């Protein structure tokens, strides 16, 4: 038994070493490291478009540096499983079974094969998060871990570039470039890519591509207000689109432990009720962004808070609700809650029912 196990392990070791040697053979054509694969120029990147077998993602980019902002549209493609009947004539087992007395007169049908294809994606749009920003920055410029040139057909096959797994098109003010996406490097998540129409192949770090593969989950910004609490100088509560009560000012805002909110006409009068309320509004987070098909159609506005900073408006966060038909009954009306802001391009994002209901209850205390 031990000799058999030893033989099996030896065979597996040889196969593993052989695979590693084949990949190493492809990498013998290495020319240099740190090569610049793409440089957007001074104008920066305008958009990125990813498309592979199972997903798509498009990133719109505005601004540069600290003011860089992204908007993402992404989704997974529909998985389609199709049964393909196997050819009975090619099934040896069924032919042998025909000679068995117990199975005389019976025909054994081979199990159908399953063909997997992917259809159109289900898309959702949302603001990009810090990972999306880092992704854009990593392409400005994009440098390779390694560059390979003069590769033969076998090497390209090993790298997955004889039949690319996907594509990435990056558009900048200076023009656009499309990358063909190959296999991951042996033993790592770094990926082989080739500029479409060019001969050289580049090994690109995993961090520069992996966020695009899971963009629908990895690039989602859940923060609704693009400002920190200390940056908020004032806030105005609006119900039905009209201001309710005085504008409040954020006193001592740079000292978190001693800051407080007060009516603009009485700047030393602490309003702890409003303070607790507005802190929760600033802390609201999107749990998900509905697809266009599932977007809420009859959202009722509960309230909105307009925030201002030293240099002007910071944005408005609005809370809304819609009757949840699946959870409501004749005895009880249950609401689903949503929020939107300038950052979400005023598209409603789902928030937790607990957060929405809590803020709606606190609103009554604020306006008393």
| Tokens standing for residue 340 | 């939107």
The whole-number pLDDT of residue 20 equals 46
**What CA–CA distances, in Å, run from 177 to 56, 194, 214?**
17, 10, 22
- Secondary structure element (H or E) that encloses residue 77, with its range: strand 69-84
CB 310 within 8 Å of CB 233: yes
In order, the DSSP letters of 47-62 are EEEEEESSEEEEEEEE
Q: Judge whether 76 and 216 are in contact, CB under 8 Å.
A: yes
pLDDT of residue 107: 64
Q: What is the pLDDT of residue 34?
A: 74
Which tokens is 187 given? 């033993």
Asked if residues 211 and 135 have their Cβ atoms less than 8 Å apart, the reply is: yes
At 83 the pLDDT is 84
CA neighbours closer than 13 Å in the CB half-sphere of residue 159: 28
Predicted confidence pLDDT, tens digits, the chain (368 residues):
455 555 545 555 544 445 444 444 444 444 456 789 999 998 999 999 999 999 999 999 999 888 899 999 999 999 998 888 766 665 555 445 555 555 555 666 777 788 888 999 999 999 999 999 999 999 999 999 999 988 999 999 999 999 998 999 999 988 999 999 999 998 888 999 999 988 899 999 999 999 999 999 999 999 999 999 999 999 999 999 999 999 999 999 999 899 999 999 999 999 999 999 999 999 999 999 999 889 998 999 999 999 999 999 999 999 999 999 999 999 999 999 999 999 999 999 999 999 999 999 999 999 87
Six token digits for residue 190: 């770094």
CA nearest 304: which of 359, 254, 259, 262? 359
Q: What is the pLDDT of residue 124?
A: 95
Within 13 Å and on the Cβ side, how many CA atoms surround 241? 1
Pairing of strands 234-239, 248-251: antiparallel
């Amino acid at each position: 038994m031990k000799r058999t196990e030893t033989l099996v392990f030896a065979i597996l070791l040889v196969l593993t070493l052989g695979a590693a040697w084949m990949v190493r053979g492809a990498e013998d054509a290495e020319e240099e490291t740190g090569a610049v694969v793409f440089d957007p120029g001074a104008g920066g990147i305008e958009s990125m478009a990813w498309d592979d077998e199972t997903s798509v993602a498009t990133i719109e980019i505005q601004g540069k540096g600290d003011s860089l902002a992204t908007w993402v549209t992404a989704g997974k493609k529909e998985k389609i499983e199709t049964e393909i009947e196997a050819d009975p004539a090619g099934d040896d087992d069924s032919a042998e079974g025909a000679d068995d007395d117990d199975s005389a007169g019976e025909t054994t049908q081979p199990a159908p094969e399953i063909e997997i294809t992917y259809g159109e994606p289900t898309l959702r749009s949302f603001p990009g998060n810090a990972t999306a920003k880092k992704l854009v920055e990593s392409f400005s410029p994009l440098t390779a871990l390694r560059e390979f040139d003069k590769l033969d057909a076998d090497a390209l096959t090993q790298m997955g570039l004889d039949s690319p797994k996907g594509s990435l098109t990056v558009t900048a003010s200076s023009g656009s470039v499309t990358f063909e996406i190959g296999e991951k490097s042996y033993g790592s998540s770094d990926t082989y890519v080739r500029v479409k129409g060019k001969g050289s192949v580049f090994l690109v770090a995993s961090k520069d591509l992996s966020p695009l593969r899971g963009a629908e989950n990895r690039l989602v910004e859940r923060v609704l207000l693009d400002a920190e609490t200390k940056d908020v100088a004032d806030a105005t509560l609006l119900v039905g689109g009209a201001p309710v009560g005085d504008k409040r000012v954020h006193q001592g805002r740079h000292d978190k432990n001693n800051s407080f909110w007060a009516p603009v006409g009485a700047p030393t009068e602490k309003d702890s009720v409003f303070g607790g309320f507005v802190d929760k509004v600033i802390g609201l987070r999107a749990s998900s962004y509905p697809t266009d098909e599932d977007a809420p159609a009859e959202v009722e506005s509960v309230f909105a808070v307009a925030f201002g900073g030293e240099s002007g408006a910071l944005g408005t966060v609005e809370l809304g609700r819609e009757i949840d038909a699946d959870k409501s009954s004749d005895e009880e009306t249950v609401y689903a809650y949503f929020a939107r802001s300038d950052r979400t391009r005023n598209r409603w994002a789902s928030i937790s029912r607990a957060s929405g209901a809590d803020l709606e209850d606190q609103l009554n205390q604020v306006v008393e």
